[in-house]
Chains A and B, each alone.
Chain A
């Protein structure tokens, strides 16, 4: 059985977080993911340097920065998906709800259930729309057909896709349009009742209309989930996020309230990037 995620209404105005960036301001927001001293190596090449970052619960945190600055690498630590490849080394701490995700007793599959991920290109499986959403459910839960159908429908509703696919649940997921495919992937991720959703440039392969739908969706999702979104699109970061981290060459140059980062950044480098002087 699944216990339904209890929704609580967060303060509509995000406050400075404790611990990072704005040390001057006392933090008042609950923190979902706490990253301390995170470094990352691909072979001999170091790509992340001493990253410290706090992800606010039920907030959207945007990660911006020029290509190759380590945004995706940082994101891919949170669900330990980077472990799929060899020759990588990670040091430092990442705490999810105060618990180290690298602790040997952490159940990796359960961590990934809690921390869902959406990729740059939509990745529907070669299965029907229904089976795509049911895939993750079947991995983690046992349930009858009726409950399964309910959960799939619920997830498709939450991903704002139900009305478009309710008549073609048995069609192949790969036959949907790009934007629909991406929302199908979001539904698939939501179905397993995650707490955090990581998005790695979720709209970069999608047309503007579909992008608007996904941005709207991100906005409604933060009521129930914590979101971390990597994007190379600064306008998008400004539109969707409560907090923004600016990465440059593997370091977090500046982190704080999105409003502040985009209006009066503390660092010259941040300002130069945001105003389009490089990147």
Chain B
């Protein structure tokens, strides 16, 4: 038997460290690259009228994407109003009432599948159940599609966050004579509130750049949103259309929109991190 040389082991160690470090850097490098490109190309389009004006015809100066920004705001808000409450209630069921029951396991499994479902399939699904029967594209159907995508994200984060609340806290509330629902809403929810807020925010961030489901539902519009029962302007589909167009100024607008969406998502993520970080210190 021969001893293995320490030098050989040290070299292997060094190689593994270097490779894993390189792999990590690659991931970060792409993110930084994307951010740089978006900022460099998009910053030029961000002027006051970008936020306030309707789009101009190709090759005409001026114009903005005010309608798409407003439309995205409205569609996402409505989606949040639909998706977050249902997701929260589902999460409460999983963590507080269902727990390890058969129904809860079934719901949990279904939620995981829904979470992994490609968003384009959700778009096509909403097209079939809403757009086709109602006879046209609409902002409502866009909100429903986004709400469906939010649902599993909110449900699972809610469950996870509520599970972090120790059972002894639930028991304490019940031991004081609180009925189950009061213990959940007044005590468990409150203990988990920062987590619940962050979960909902992450769900918003998750859907605010979704394009495929909107392509089949809200479509797009060159006008200000008047009614959600019509096709409604929104940023992701605008990026899709403008980026594919041959016009340089439309392409610039697409870069501007990309920068805006990226900034919003980044902003939400940073906000989430700040909230979570603050929770740890209290």
- Which A residues are closer than 8 A to B by beta carbons? 79, 81, 84, 86, 109-113, 116-117, 119-121, 123, 125-127, 135-136, 139-140, 172, 174-175, 185, 188-189, 192
- Of the A-B pairs whose beta carbons lie under 8 Å apart in the complex, a sample of 21, sorted by A's number, is A81-B171, A86-B100, A109-B178, A116-B175, A117-B171, A119-B168, A121-B166, A123-B168, A123-B169, A123-B171, A125-B169, A126-B187, A126-B190, A135-B173, A136-B176, A136-B178, A139-B176, A139-B178, A140-B177, A188-B172, A192-B177
Please indicate the chain B residues that have their CB under 8 angstroms from the CB of A125 in the complex: 169, 172-173, 186-187, 190-191
Please indicate the chain A residues that have their CB under 8 angstroms from the CB of B268 in the complex: none
Please indicate the chain A residues that have their CB under 8 angstroms from the CB of B182 in the complex: 139
Total interface residues in chain B, CB < 8 Å: 24
Contact A172 B282 (CB under 8 A): yes
Please indicate the chain B residues that have their CB under 8 angstroms from the CB of A175 in the complex: 282
Give the docked Cα–Cα distance between A24 and B92 (Å).
55
Please indicate the chain B residues that have their CB under 8 angstroms from the CB of A84 in the complex: 167, 170-171, 174
Please indicate the chain A residues that have their CB under 8 angstroms from the CB of B27 in the complex: none
Give the docked Cα–Cα distance between A12 and B173 (Å).
34
Contacts A119-B168, A121-B166, A125-B169 given; indicate if A136 touches B177 (C-beta within 8 A): yes
Give the docked Cα–Cα distance between A84 and B180 (Å).
9
Give the docked Cα–Cα distance between A192 and B182 (Å).
16
| Closest Cβ–Cβ distance, residue B67 to chain A (whole Å) | 42
Main secondary structure of the interface of A (DSSP, over half): helix
Cβ of B116 under 8 Å from chain A: no
Please indicate the chain A residues that have their CB under 8 angstroms from the CB of B193 in the complex: 126
- The residue in chain B whose Cβ has the minimal distance to the Cβ of A87 is B100
Contact B175 A126 (CB under 8 A): no
Give the docked Cα–Cα distance between A174 and B50 (Å).
47
Contacts A123-B168, A175-B282 given; indicate if A117 touches B190 (C-beta within 8 A): no
Contact with A along B149-174 (1 / 0, CB 8 A): 00000000000000000111111111
Within 8 A of A (CB), among B172-217: 172-179, 182, 186-187, 190-191, 193
Contact B179 A109 (CB under 8 A): yes
Contact B190 A135 (CB under 8 A): no
Please indicate the chain A residues that have their CB under 8 angstroms from the CB of B190 in the complex: 125-127
Contacts A121-B166, A139-B182 given; indicate if A109 touches B191 (C-beta within 8 A): no
- The residue in chain A whose Cβ has the minimal distance to the Cβ of B186 is A135
- Which B residues are closer than 8 A to A by beta carbons? 99-101, 166-179, 182, 186-187, 190-191, 193, 282
Contacts A125-B190, A126-B191 given; indicate if A112 touches B174 (C-beta within 8 A): yes
Give the docked Cα–Cα distance between A81 and B172 (Å).
9
Contact B168 A188 (CB under 8 A): no
Please indicate the chain A residues that have their CB under 8 angstroms from the CB of B172 in the complex: 117, 119, 123, 125, 185, 188
One of B101, B171, B177 near A139 (C-beta < 8 A): B177
Please indicate the chain B residues that have their CB under 8 angstroms from the CB of A189 in the complex: 175-176
Contact B176 A135 (CB under 8 A): yes
Give the docked Cα–Cα distance between A109 and B171 (Å).
13
Contact A79 B175 (CB under 8 A): yes
Q: Which of A81, A112, A123: most chain B Cβ within 10 A?
A: A123
Contact B175 A112 (CB under 8 A): yes
| Closest Cβ–Cβ distance, residue B109 to chain A (whole Å) | 19
- The residue in chain A whose Cβ has the minimal distance to the Cβ of B191 is A126
Please indicate the chain A residues that have their CB under 8 angstroms from the CB of B186 in the complex: 125, 135
Give the docked Cα–Cα distance between A120 and B177 (Å).
19
One of A112, A120, A139 near B168 (C-beta < 8 A): A120
Contacts A119-B171, A175-B282 given; indicate if A109 touches B166 (C-beta within 8 A): no
Contact B174 A81 (CB under 8 A): yes
- The residue in chain B whose Cβ has the minimal distance to the Cβ of A79 is B175
- The residue in chain A whose Cβ has the minimal distance to the Cβ of B99 is A86
Please indicate the chain A residues that have their CB under 8 angstroms from the CB of B169 in the complex: 123, 125
| Closest Cβ–Cβ distance, residue A142 to chain B (whole Å) | 15
Q: Which of B100, B101, B168, B190: most chain A Cβ within 10 A?
A: B168
Contacts A113-B176, A135-B173 given; indicate if A121 touches B99 (C-beta within 8 A): no
Give the docked Cα–Cα distance between A175 and B281 (Å).
10
| Closest Cβ–Cβ distance, residue B117 to chain A (whole Å) | 31
Q: Which of B173, B176, B190: most chain A Cβ within 10 A?
A: B176
Please indicate the chain B residues that have their CB under 8 angstroms from the CB of A174 in the complex: 282
Give the docked Cα–Cα distance between A185 and B176 (Å).
10
- The residue in chain B whose Cβ has the minimal distance to the Cβ of A127 is B190
Please indicate the chain A residues that have their CB under 8 angstroms from the CB of B191 in the complex: 125-126
| Closest Cβ–Cβ distance, residue B205 to chain A (whole Å) | 25
Give the docked Cα–Cα distance between A174 and B175 (Å).
19
Please indicate the chain A residues that have their CB under 8 angstroms from the CB of B174 in the complex: 81, 84, 112
Please indicate the chain B residues that have their CB under 8 angstroms from the CB of A117 in the complex: 171-172, 175
- The residue in chain B whose Cβ has the minimal distance to the Cβ of A119 is B168
One of A126, A127, A172, A192 near B176 (C-beta < 8 A): A192
Please indicate the chain B residues that have their CB under 8 angstroms from the CB of A121 in the complex: 166, 168
Give the docked Cα–Cα distance between A213 and B182 (Å).
32
| Closest Cβ–Cβ distance, residue A34 to chain B (whole Å) | 21
Give the docked Cα–Cα distance between A59 and B101 (Å).
41
Give the docked Cα–Cα distance between A175 and B282 (Å).
7
Please indicate the chain A residues that have their CB under 8 angstroms from the CB of B187 in the complex: 125-126, 135
